[in-house]
């Protein structure tokens, strides 16, 4: 757009369009040139170029489709603090280690932390009956016990991300004797925090879920069983349909001549496309008890017949939210300190969106140093 403000160029009642045929053809020619060169560039990329989650890690436990990994330390720095990262079921853990220079995991390792992570794997149809309690009191508890035993400690430091934040919150309430510190990242806690105050383009999952009836959720789970990964992925993409159309078209052209940006884009696409299925009974409870009933924050959630009472979370809590998060609106993540039993509650807002928290440079500069400082101050042998 130009601002020549020449008299008589465009009358206010007319569209201020001053595109000459020659300029349009020149622009088209340049775009085609970019596309051709970009296509050639694409063809040169190998599988290795596009690899994600490349930080070396060793599998130390497996049960059904889940795997517990311990990342290999980098460098000689060691703080003697172990953290256990619990990611969401709806995406793969690779997001926390997307690229070497945009890796949350590598930054934690570089700070001398001992990092464990659970890969929830790809549940199949056989796992459709798994409940949230199976994940929390089953798999998660088994992993925690393994880490406690390996590290020779009673309590561990949990880092729960998004849906994993809900799982670790539930775990900390049910097994407070095993948790030293709880760090939550972009985690939905008050599922109705955004009710009545929707922001444009934000919180679609909450809105969609609340627009459904309880019978709709039953129909969904009874009919589909486990929610297939591509279906879940499609729902995420439909939160921003026009944005996705331009992402794969005119916005894509903008990055074709930038090798780094193009690789970032392709690696992110790899992650986006690799959505696991969500077990049916988890979906049923997630939608009915959380999205619709908002039972977690009300201390009404029951797992395996036990009440999840947030007052039992007496360990220190660090709650990190993304200021530009449109997947989990800020109102669903922040301002929940009074709901926990702890008197050591810290809240931190980082710049960027839901995923940008883990791959954005601005967020990364704040995130890892804050977590490390916070943990070091509360280490006490953890």
Partner 1 sequence: MTSGQELLYEFWLKAIPAFFGAMMPVSPTVRGAPSSADQSEVPAQLPFPVDQIGHSLRLMNTTLRQLYQAYLPLLQQDRLTSEALQAIAGSSSGAWIKALAGRGDSQAASENPLLTGMERTYGALADAFGLGPTRELNEAWREVMVTAVAKQGAQAEYLAIVLEAWRKGTASLFAQLSHIGARGERVDSLLALIRLWARAVDAAMHEAMQSEQGLQATARVLRAALRHRQQLQKAVGLASEALNMPTRAEVDQAYREIQELKRELRRLKRATQRPVQSHKTGETIT
Q: Which residues are catalytic?
A: 162
Among 52, 61, 283, 322, binds partner 1 (CB under 8 A): 61
* Residue with smaller CB distance to partner 1, 110 or 237: 237
User: DSSP string of 257-293?
Assistant: T-HHHHHHHHHHHHHHH-PPPB-HHHHHHIIIIIIIT
Rounded distance, CA 94 to CA 360, Å? 15
**Contact flag: residue 250 with partner 1 (CB under 8 A):** yes
- The CB-of-22 to partner 1 minimum distance in angstroms stands at 9
Tokens at residue 280, please? 């049916």
**Contact flag: residue 100 with partner 1 (CB under 8 A):** no
Count CB-CB contacts under 10 A for residue 248: 10
Rounded distance, CA 292 to CA 296, Å? 11
* Residue with smaller CB distance to partner 1, 41 or 378: 41
Window of 134-142, 185-193, 284-292, 340-348 that interacts with partner 1 by CB under 8 A: 134-142
| Largest CA-CA distance found in the chain, in angstroms, rounded | 80
In a 13 Å sphere around the CA of 293, the CA atoms on its Cβ side amount to: 16
**Contact flag: residue 264 with partner 1 (CB under 8 A):** no
* Residue with smaller CB distance to partner 1, 61 or 374: 61
- The CB-of-2 to partner 1 minimum distance in angstroms stands at 5
- The CB-of-338 to partner 1 minimum distance in angstroms stands at 29
Tokens at residue 132, please? 């949230």
Site for partner 1 in 303-332 (CB under 8 A): none
Site for partner 1 in 204-243 (CB under 8 A): 204, 207-208, 211-213, 216, 219-220, 222-225, 228-231, 233-234, 237, 240-243
User: Is the distance from CB of 85 to CB of 109 less than 8 angstroms?
Assistant: no
Among 192, 270, 295, 378, binds partner 1 (CB under 8 A): 270
Site for partner 1 in 138-197 (CB under 8 A): 138, 142, 145-146, 148-150
- The CB-of-350 to partner 1 minimum distance in angstroms stands at 24
Span between the terminal Cα atoms of the chain, in Å: 57
Site for partner 1 in 108-127 (CB under 8 A): 125-127
Q: Determine whether 76 is exposed, middle or buried from the number of CB atoms within 10 Å of its CB (0-12, 13-18, 19+).
A: exposed
Site for partner 1 in 273-292 (CB under 8 A): 273-274
* Residue with smaller CB distance to partner 1, 69 or 358: 69
- Helix, strand, or coil (residue 69): strand
User: Is the distance from CB of 227 to CB of 280 less than 8 angstroms?
Assistant: yes
- The CB-of-172 to partner 1 minimum distance in angstroms stands at 19
Pairing of strands 57-63, 66-71: antiparallel
- The CB-of-102 to partner 1 minimum distance in angstroms stands at 18
Contacts of 274 (CB under 8 A, 6+ apart): 92, 94, 229
Entry field: residues in the chain: 382
Site for partner 1 in 6-45 (CB under 8 A): 9-21, 23-25, 27-28, 31-32, 35-36, 38-39, 42-43, 45
* Residue with smaller CB distance to partner 1, 28 or 377: 28
- The CB-of-168 to partner 1 minimum distance in angstroms stands at 19
Tokens at residue 346, please? 């810290």
Among 153, 195, 252, 376, binds partner 1 (CB under 8 A): 252
In a 13 Å sphere around the CA of 175, the CA atoms on its Cβ side amount to: 22
* Residue with smaller CB distance to partner 1, 180 or 310: 180
State the number of binding residues for partner 1 (CB under 8 A): 105
Pairing of strands 306-307, 302-303: antiparallel
């Amino acid at each position: 757009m130009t601002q020549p403000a020449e008299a008589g160029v465009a009358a206010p009642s007319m569209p201020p369009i001053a595109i000459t045929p020659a300029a349009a053809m020149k622009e088209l020619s340049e775009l085609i040139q970019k596309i051709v060169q970009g296509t050639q560039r694409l063809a040169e990329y190998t599988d290795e170029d596009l690899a994600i989650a490349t930080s070396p890690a060793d599998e130390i436990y497996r049960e059904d489709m889940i795997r517990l990994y311990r990342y290999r330390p980098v460098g000689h720095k060691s703080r003697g603090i172990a953290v256990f990262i619990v990611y969401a079921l709806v995406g793969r853990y690779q997001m926390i280690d997307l690229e070497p220079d945009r890796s949350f995991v590598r930054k934690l390792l570089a700070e001398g932390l001992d990092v464990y992570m659970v890969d929830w794997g790809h549940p199949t149809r056989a796992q459709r009956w798994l409940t949230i309690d199976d994940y929390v009191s089953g798999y998660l508890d088994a992993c925690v016990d393994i880490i406690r035993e390996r590290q020779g400690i009673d309590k561990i430091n949990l880092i729960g991300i998004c849906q994993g934040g809900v799982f670790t919150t539930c775990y900390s309430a049910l097994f407070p004797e095993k948790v030293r510190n709880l760090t939550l990242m972009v985690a939905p806690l008050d599922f109705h925090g955004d009710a009545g105050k929707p922001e444009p383009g934000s919180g679609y999952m909450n809105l969609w879920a609340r627009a459904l009836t309880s019978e709709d959720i039953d129909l969904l789970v009874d009919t589909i069983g486990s929610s297939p990964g591509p279906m879940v992925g499609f729902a995420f993409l439909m939160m921003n349909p026009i944005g996705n159309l331009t992402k794969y078209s005119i916005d894509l052209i903008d990055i074709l001549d930038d090798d780094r940006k193009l690789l970032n884009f392709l690696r992110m696409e790899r992650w986006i496309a690799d959505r696991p299925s969500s077990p049916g009974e988890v979906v049923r409870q997630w939608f009915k008890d959380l999205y619709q009933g908002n039972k977690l924050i009300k201390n009404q959630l029951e797992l395996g017949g036990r009440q999840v009472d947030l007052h039992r979370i007496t360990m220190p809590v660090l709650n990190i939210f993304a200021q530009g998060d449109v997947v989990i609106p800020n109102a669903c993540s922040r301002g929940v300190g009074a709901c926990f039993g702890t008197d050591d509650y810290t809240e931190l807002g980082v710049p960027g969106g839901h995923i940008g928290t883990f791959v954005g440079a601005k967020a990364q500069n704040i995130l890892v140093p804050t977590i490390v400082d916070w943990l070091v101050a509360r280490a006490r042998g953890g």
